[in-house]
Structure 1
Amino acid sequence: MITGLNRLVDLVEQHLGEELDVAAFARSLGTTEYHLRRMFSSLAGMPLSEYLRRRRMTMAAADVVRGHPDLLGIAVRYGYGSSEAFGRAFRAVHGAAPGDVRRDGGPLRTQPQLRFRLTVEGSNPMDTRIAERPAFRLAGHAVRVPLIHRGVNPHIQQHVASLPPAEHDRLKALSDTDPAGLLAVTDDAAPDAAEGTELTYLHGVAVTADTSVAEDLDTIEVPAGQWAVFRSSGAYPQTLQDTWAATASEWFPSNPWRLRPGPSIVAIIDRAADFTTATSDLWLPVEPA
């Protein structure tokens, strides 16, 4: 996967002014676009689309500063159909219009070319199992929230806190299949969603496909398939988030599995009364690579 990601970076450089056929490239690596984008985003810290935009604007800025006389020509070279669209993208990256940068020489926010390298990790074994699950349903209370990679998500906290205690008990009583108990579910996120992008968060439980669910509950239908289940224990949510990151940097590159579309599920196995520490299972939908 590391070699494939570096080949993808090279492909970006070769086609800065063109649309990338990421799906075809993923197939050439023997993987899927979904998995490739998820791995790139997790390891690079930004979506592939954002990296491409930053590299385009880095190279375009060099043309602007060098005094290329035709801003429209620069815009077209980097895949923009008009000077206006190019100017908006340029300002979004550099914080200044092309004309201002040409006059003043800056400010410029340069995106260096990425290079992925294999480092020696894995001194701490990851507690993982593969679970085969029939189709099931997730039922509970859903809300749209912004994606936050690190720390507690206050929007999720607010959503869960707004539910009365009796509702938590009602959901627990409804749970009748694995993953057991109250669950934190994220769904509808693009494979390389940037931080701040909205996704669906569901506070709920898993039930069998034929379990009757009340109409006032939101549901997510989950098809049959395999899941990688990662257990972690420690400070919450930091340890869980570290485990999530390690799936991309350590587990997937060294195991014959890849991500497939579907919700990500967190089940709390045990926790401190103040929730500062917890043992949790992270369920990620996977398929053989």
Structure 2
Amino acid sequence: MEGLNRMANSIDFIENNVENELKIDQVATVACMSKFHYQRMFSMLTGVTVAEYIRRRRLTLAAQELTHANRKVIDVALKYGYETPESFSKAFRKIHGISPSAVRQNSQQLKAFPKLSFQIQLKGDVEMEYKIVEKDAFQVVGKGIRTSIVNGENHRQIPAFWDESNSNGFVEELEKDCGPMSIMGACMEFDATQEKLTYFICAEKNKQDIPSDWEEKKIPASTWAVFESVGAMPDAIPKTWDRIFSEWFPSTGYEHASGPELEVYSTEGDTTSEDYRCEIWIPIVKK
């Protein structure tokens, strides 16, 4: 509950400063989170990025001012952070479908994006089971892609990367000498500014020589929260991710430790079966 209260405080901060220059790290500080963790949490809870939410709120308020107040377009544009009427008009048209100057014409349809609020949804007896694991640092080897969390790009590119890696024999090669954690997908090398991350299909390093087109990366020692995901791939695991960020983090005394996140896949069982089981490992710290 405390986590949701802090998210609500961050929304109040955005509302109170929507006419000022807003930096996401300032908003994250209000929520007592790192910038990247706040962005992930916000996106999981709302379905939009922090930057997009701020943009929508500004353009909602701008439309109201243009409709009900005798304000020049340039004045409203500057008030809500746009340096030129052209940039303001482009953003305004993208949201509302009309130009700012057309707002005062009769019967114009506009869109309003209200202030967000957060609450915990009670979902009967659908509890989330987890365990806390301490693990030393270890090396992994594999291949990765660079992807973005903006507009759910990662949810499209990562399954496509798995399909390619399974079809070209790469995963099969990894399985031949994988460690006790089996095959993993690691989210790492987060770039909070550009909202990008590396997704690395890998296994624990068990031999010195690796193929020239593979990379080696280090997973640091961490305290991990481990969650089981049950269901057919690739649909089951995104649902577990959503519940971790929207339900587990807001209602527990833990927060993200900003290290790599792991998806741990068993080589046993049919990945298309509704009974297939895998795990999500997230580095945590106690608040």
Q: TM above 0.5, one fold?
A: yes
Structure 1 residue 15 displacement after superposition: 0.9
Structure 1 residue 145 displacement after superposition: 4.7
Q: Mapping of 1:67-78 within 5 angstroms?
A: 68-78=70-80
Tell me the equivalent position of 2:165.
Answer: 160
Work out whether residues 37 and 192 of structure 1, in 8 Å CA contact, stay in contact via their aligned partners in 2: no
Tell me the equivalent position of 2:20.
Answer: 18
Moved more, 22-31 or 105-114: 22-31
Identity %: 27
Structure 1 residue 75 displacement after superposition: 0.8
Tell me the equivalent position of 1:64.
Answer: 66
Aligned alpha-carbon RMSD (Å): 3.0
Work out whether residues 41 and 48 of structure 1, in 8 Å CA contact, stay in contact via their aligned partners in 2: yes
Normalised to the residue count of structure 2, the TM-score between the two structures is 0.83
Distance 1:86 1:161, change over 3 A: same
Match for residue 201 of structure 1 among 189, 199, 202: 199
Give distance in 1, aligned partners of 2:201 and 2:57.
39
1:230 partnered with 2:227: yes
Tell me the equivalent position of 2:105.
Answer: 103
Q: Mapping of 1:215-254 within 5 angstroms?
A: 215-254=212-251
Distance 1:174 1:18, change over 3 A: farther
Tell me the equivalent position of 1:186.
Answer: 187
Structure 1 residue 263 displacement after superposition: 2.9
Moved more, 212-221 or 150-159: 150-159
Describe the superposition over 1:33-73 as per-residue Cα deviations: whole angstroms up to 9, x where unpaired. Answer: 33333222211111111111100010011122235341111
User: How many residue pairs are counted as aligned between the two chains?
Assistant: 281
Amino acid at match of 1:172: E
Structure 2 SS opposite 1:130: strand
Normalised to the residue count of structure 1, the TM-score between the two structures is 0.83
Structure 1 residue 21 displacement after superposition: 4.6
Distance 1:225 1:105, change over 3 A: farther
Structure 1 residue 182 displacement after superposition: 1.5
Structure 2 SS opposite 1:103: coil
Amino acid at match of 1:110: A
Moved more, 45-54 or 211-220: 211-220
Distance 1:270 1:254, change over 3 A: farther
